[in-house]
Amino acid sequence: MSFIEIFQSGGFLMYPLALAYLLTAALIIERAMNLRESRILNQTLVDRVTDLVEAGRPERAIQACRDNPSIFTNIVVAGLEMSGKGEMRAKEAIEDAGRHETVKLKRYLNALGTIAAVAPLVGLLGTVTGMILVFRT
């Protein structure tokens, strides 16, 4: 029995399950690509920005961050832009940027949770539907 035959014998509820599988796979791949360490925290860039800030060249550090956008650089830029306006303002800017970037990191997690909750219920519905059909005949 081939996969297609098994799929077709599963009934109409196999299609939503297949769609859930494809969506889940796509979301996992997208999250894996965007959450790679190199996309979040490039160590070479961290060292370069640190050296520029320690050398008293924050404007060059900001430009280096803007040339290489990432979660880290977005947060650093927010802090460096406010560094001349006091420690508290810089800290608040970093916290705000961190919250904004956290939203990006959590993107699609609710969708994955919903699929994880609904897919087993669709499978159970398919099982019950199949049992009803078996006992009906």
Rounded Cα distance between 47 and 71, Å, is 16
Backbone phi and psi for residue 50, each to the nearest 5 degrees, phi listed first: -60, -45
Is residue 6 assigned to a domain? Answer: no
Is residue 2 assigned to a domain? Answer: no
Rounded Cα distance between 11 and 73, Å, is 50
Is residue 42 assigned to a domain? Answer: yes
Is residue 4 assigned to a domain? Answer: no
Identify the domain containing residue 115 by its residue range.
13-136
Per-residue pLDDT of the chain (137 residues; tens, 9 = 90+): 898 998 998 899 999 999 999 999 999 999 998 888 767 788 899 999 999 999 999 999 999 999 998 899 999 999 999 988 989 999 999 999 999 999 988 989 999 999 999 999 999 999 999 999 999 87
Q: What pLDDT shows up at residue 24?
A: 97
Angle at 40 between CA 88 and CA 61, to 5 degrees: 55
Domain total of the chain = 1
Give the predicted TM-score (pTM) of the model. Answer: 0.73
Is residue 56 assigned to a domain? Answer: yes
Angle of helix 71-82 relative to helix 58-67, nearest 10 degrees, comes to 150
Is residue 7 assigned to a domain? Answer: no
